Amino acid sequence: MQLNNLTITQAHQGLKKKEFSALELTESVLNRIRKRNPEINAYLTITEELALNQAKRVDNKIANKEEIGILEGIPVAVKDAILVDGIKCTAASKILENYIAPYDATVIKRLKKAGAVIVGKTNLDEFTMGASGENSAFGPTKNPHDLKRVPGGSSSGSAAAVADNQTIYALGTDTGGSIRQPASFCGIVGLKPTYGRVSRYGLITHASSLDQIGPMTKTVEDAEIVFNAIQGKDEKDATSMSVEVQPQQRSDLGSQIKDLKIGVPKEYFVEGIDPRVEKLIRKAINKYQEMGAKIVEVSLPHTEYALACYYIIMPAEASANLARYDGIKYGLSEKGKDLLEGYLKTKQKGFGDEVTRRIMMGTYLLSSGYYDAYYLKAQKVRTLIKQDFDKVFEKVDVLMTPVSPTTAFKIGEKATDPVSMYLSDIYTVSLNLAGLPGISLPVGPLRQSFSEASKVNGLPVGLQIIGQQFNDQKILQVAKLYEKSDL
């Protein structure tokens, strides 16, 4: 087996047994990147020197017979909206094309402390705004399963890199589905943690009340390993919280299924979903029933307002956050005859169409006379959506839904129709509005080569498992049950 094909767990075991070195593992990943990245465009920056130095340090520890942690010596790719000290961080935008990060994001500090090997920064929809991976100023990322199709967005490069074995695992970010939807399209595991479980310090902000960093991996077990390494309170992020992590109960996973109540929201299985996708999702849910879980149909009545609510709150927050790119403090700077003209020229040249569209929407929604009519009302609807989930979780342990109504669509298919593109987020945005954890896992065998029975038109399909606030461990355990089943 090629070393770059390994999972975190497999790679860790191999390093411990000295079957290969961290340097060999890293070189295997870098070779794959050299071979495939020109075609896939998953990476914007390859940090070869940094990676090799980090790998050598781990090999020295092993040579000195020191114990190594589970992530030590394991290559990781980082979405290019998360700061890595001394490395370019563009957010896939011309306005930050030459911006060098002056410090590490908290998640990067934690991964470095855990001994991770950072192989590069991955492509994304500009400023994490998009559902396809086509909005990057540096060209679209392609889906490794079909190069004519999108990998999903906005964590397009991270998803494609993991699916194509150009890394062992990756970090993504999720504002309205940006980890889960590309994970579904590329056939990998993607975890969006509870809002506040993972520090946002050092993340280039899109929408402050919605953004969350999370792992993108080949297995659920790997996602759990990475989540445990990056989660926790951070004094530099006032929204981060300390939650006591329950000890792993791997031995009694089988017995837990007997008491498991799974809610299936009827609003997620309506007109518009590809019937073949629905069939695979229902088949996966039935698998849990066969294992002993109880399936309950539930209702989330305010679901129909979630997308409209999201596309008011998100652009409003984005327009406020992106006001900082004025060409004065950092990033692209265009000169004008006065300050205002300089601002306008900088933003006009630096921002792409989708970013401009969202800034304009957000500025309008926050303007005098419209704030109460739109933004304030959307915040009230957000509360109702959260209350729907609270009521349902009194009856069930987790919810199961599709991640996306379709499989990966063709590059260019929705580029001229923003509304059609926004509908790709229909099953994912509610979790961000309510601050809940969700995981996407491929239905069918969790192997790199999927059986045709687990695909639609040869493309992966993702099952979404949703948990209560701060119950991230629960959805990981439930997802692991599927991973370990004999499908």
- pLDDT at residue 338 tops 80: yes
From the list 226, 160, 144, 234, the residue with the least C-alpha distance to 196 is 234
Question: What is the per-residue pLDDT across 121-170, written as a single tens digit (0 to 9) for each?
Answer: 999 999 999 999 999 999 999 999 999 999 999 999 999 999 999 999 99
Q: Which domain holds residue 473?
A: 1-487
For the chain, the average pLDDT equals 92
Measured CA distances, 484 to 254, 260, 453 (Å): 10, 16, 18
For the four alpha carbons of 443, 446, 450 and 451, in that order, the dihedral sign comes to negative
Q: 417 falls in which pLDDT band (50, 70, 90)?
A: confident
For the four alpha carbons of 325, 329, 331 and 337, in that order, the dihedral sign comes to positive
Instruction: Indicate the SS3 state at residue 361.
Output: helix
Catalytic residue among 178, 240, 319, 430: 178
Determine whether 424 is an active site residue: no
Catalytic residue among 154, 158, 424, 454: 154
Tokens of 11: 């790679």
Are 97 and 349 a contacting pair, CB within 8 Å? Answer: no
Q: pTM to 2 decimals? A: 0.94
Higher pLDDT, 273 or 466: 466
Determine whether 79 is an active site residue: yes
Catalytic residue among 21, 28, 61, 79: 79
From the list 12, 230, 241, 242, the residue with the least C-alpha distance to 108 is 230
> 353: domain CATH number?
3.90.1300.10
Number of domains in the chain: 1
Determine whether 449 is an active site residue: no
Residue 334 is predicted with a pLDDT of 84
Residue 419 is predicted with a pLDDT of 76
State how far the Cα of 142 lies from the Cα of 151, in Å rounded to an integer: 6
Question: What is the per-residue pLDDT across 33-56, written as a single tens digit (0 to 9) for each?
Answer: 999 999 999 999 999 999 999 999
Rounded to the nearest 10 degrees, how much is the dihedral formed by the CA atoms of 245, 83, 448, 182? Answer: 90
From the list 342, 481, 467, the residue with the least C-alpha distance to 398 is 467
State how far the Cα of 375 lies from the Cα of 314, in Å rounded to an integer: 10
Report whether the peptide linkage leading into residue 154 is cis, meaning its omega lies within 30 degrees of zero.
yes
From the list 192, 175, 196, 193, the residue with the least C-alpha distance to 239 is 196
Tokens of 318: 């984005």
Q: 249 falls in which pLDDT band (50, 70, 90)?
A: very low
Average pLDDT over residues 64-81: 97
Burial (0-12, 13-18, 19+ Cβ within 10 Å), 357: middle
Q: Which of 208-222, 312-326, 389-403, 446-460 has the lowest mean pLDDT?
A: 446-460
